[in-house]
């Protein structure tokens, strides 16, 4: 194997694939990246047996070949080299790297030991702008569960119906839903799948700087994201996603309009006085006086109460307690400067959404005392 390319392109590709490698004492090759040179391009592959990633680097191939190289070492080494031409040459199981005045040799593991990344039969395929997709996944993934005893909610619900895509996630304490209208009608049958949270996190990481469209392909058991010379494939979560629609309130008995940044700042201050596992703060709305009191108290720390003047309010007096962390998480991903906050009762979910965008909704279950 002998291949040359720019340091910049090789470094970018390595940074994309390297995070998927996995340290495993029983299978050391999982900590390596597979290098394959063929037809004037270098294919880099990595897998943790759940997610597989493939990246391509174009350059000049003088000799084809394959080898796996330790991910941490090769990624750090290439990132430290000058922005110049890099020559990779394989001698038995050693990869020799030359760049300017630098020469290095890295011992690898034979490519035959690297697990095969399954090829997906692409039954359904659609394209979405990468910026829109990454943003939408970022808005919902914060609500996904981490409790592996309920694998069906340890992921993002991905529902295609005609020319609409709905993303949703919940951990039973909060729920986030985002709706995306596809640019043109997608002529496919309706399909619902659950994509693992880890896969979405990896997609957000590697696609956040991409400006091209992302092609999403689905089969019965796998999903593939393709963009900008990069392929990410993953198993889907088995099981049926909860019917969460009934949780979303169709209306609220009390609804107030709030400036997002002011509301965030007050919650951060009040939260300093909320200690314990519940991390609760109380939202008390006085419709007649057009004000909302936000308060927290604990015996160990003390108490704090902050007041917000409400310019716009509909409905009656109401109050509700939330874990403040859920509130901060949800508000941070709402794009609008003003938000609508709706309450029905102390025992019913509260709802947050932007004033100018009804495609995103965030629900929080209350803390009942």
* pLDDT confidence of residue 187: 58
Give CA–CA dist 30/78, Å, rounded. Answer: 20
Model confidence band, residue 147 (pLDDT cutoffs 50, 70, 90): confident
Closest C-alpha to 94, from 112, 68, 72: 68
Q: pLDDT tens digit string along 40-63?
A: 899 999 999 999 999 999 999 999
Homologous superfamily of 2-113: DNA Polymerase III, subunit A, domain 2 (3.10.150.10)
Beta bridge partners of 34: 45, 68
* pLDDT confidence of residue 219: 87
- Determine the average pLDDT of the residues in 216-222: 90
Task: Decide: 295 and 235 in contact? Cβ < 8 Å.
Answer: no
* pLDDT confidence of residue 220: 84
* pLDDT confidence of residue 106: 97
* pLDDT confidence of residue 13: 95
Q: Residue 120: is its pLDDT beyond 80?
A: no
Model confidence band, residue 101 (pLDDT cutoffs 50, 70, 90): very high
Q: Are 124-244 and 250-364 the same fold in CATH?
A: yes
Q: Model pTM?
A: 0.91
Give CA–CA dist 177/247, Å, rounded. Answer: 11
Q: How far is CA 199 from CA 48, 56, 115, 150, in A?
A: 11, 20, 18, 17
Task: Decide: 158 and 195 in contact? Cβ < 8 Å.
Answer: yes
* pLDDT confidence of residue 300: 83
**Which sequence spans correspond to the domains of the chain?**
2-113, 124-244, 250-364
DSSP codes, 198-241: HHHHHHHHHHTT--SEEEEEE-SSEEEEEETTEEEEEEPPPS--
- Determine the average pLDDT of the residues in 340-366: 95
Fold that domain 124-244 belongs to in CATH: DNA Polymerase III; Chain A, domain 2 (3.10.150)
Q: How far is CA 78 from CA 74, 144, 208, 212, in A?
A: 6, 35, 22, 26
* pLDDT confidence of residue 209: 83
Q: pLDDT tens digit string along 320-339?
A: 999 999 999 999 999 999 99
Q: Over pLDDT 70: what percentage of the chain?
A: 98
* pLDDT confidence of residue 186: 55
What does DSSP assign to residue 109? B
CATH code for residues 250-364: 3.10.150.10
Q: pLDDT tens digit string along 166-216?
A: 999 999 999 999 999 886 655 566 889 999 999 999 999 999 888 889 999
**Rg (the chain; Cα; Å):** 25
* pLDDT confidence of residue 189: 67
* pLDDT confidence of residue 188: 64
Which of the two residues, 72 and 117, has the higher pLDDT score? 72
């Amino acid at each position: 194997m002998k291949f040359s390319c720019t340091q910049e392109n090789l470094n970018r590709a390595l940074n994309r694939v390297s995070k998927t490698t996995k340290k495993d004492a029983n299978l050391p090759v999982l900590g390596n990246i597979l290098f394959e040179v063929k037809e004037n391009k270098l294919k880099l592959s990595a897998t943790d047996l759940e997610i597989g990633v493939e990246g391509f680097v174009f350059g000049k191939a003088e000799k084809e070949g394959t080898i796996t190289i330790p991910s941490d070492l090769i990624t750090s080494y290439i990132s430290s080299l000058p922005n110049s031409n890099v020559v990779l040459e394989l001698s038995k199981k050693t990869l020799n790297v030359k760049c300017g005045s630098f020469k290095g040799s890295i011992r690898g593991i034979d490519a035959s030991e690297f697990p095969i990344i399954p090829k997906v039969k692409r039954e359904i395929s659609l394209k979405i702008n990468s910026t829109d997709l990454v943003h939408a996944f970022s808005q919902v993934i914060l609500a996904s569960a981490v409790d592996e005893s309920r694998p069906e909610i340890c992921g993002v619900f991905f529902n295609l119906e005609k020319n609409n895509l709905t993303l949703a996630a919940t951990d039973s304490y909060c729920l986030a839903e985002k709706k995306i209208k596809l640019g043109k009608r997608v002529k496919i049958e309706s399909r619902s799948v659950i994509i693992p949270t880890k896969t979405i996190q990896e997609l957000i990481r590697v696609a956040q700087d991409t400006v091209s469209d992302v092609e999403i392909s689905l089969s019965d058991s796998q999903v593939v994201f393709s963009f900008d010379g990069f392929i990410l494939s993953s198993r889907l979560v088995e099981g049926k996603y909860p019917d969460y629609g009934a949780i979303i309130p169709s209306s609220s008995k009390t609804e107030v309009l709030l400036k997002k940044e002011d509301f965030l700042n007050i919650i951060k201050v009040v939260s300093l006085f909320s200690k314990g596992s519940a991390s609760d703060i109380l939202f008390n709305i006085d419709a007649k006086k057009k004000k909302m009191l936000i308060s927290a108290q604990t015996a160990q720390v003390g108490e704090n109460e902050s007041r917000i003047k409400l310019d716009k309010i509909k409905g009656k007096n109401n109050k509700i307690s939330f874990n403040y962390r859920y509130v901060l998480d949800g508000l941070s991903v709402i794009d609008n400067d003003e938000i609508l906050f709706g309450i029905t009762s102390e025992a019913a979910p509260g709802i947050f959404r932007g004033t100018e965008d009804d495609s995103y909704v965030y629900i929080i279950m209350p803390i009942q005392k």
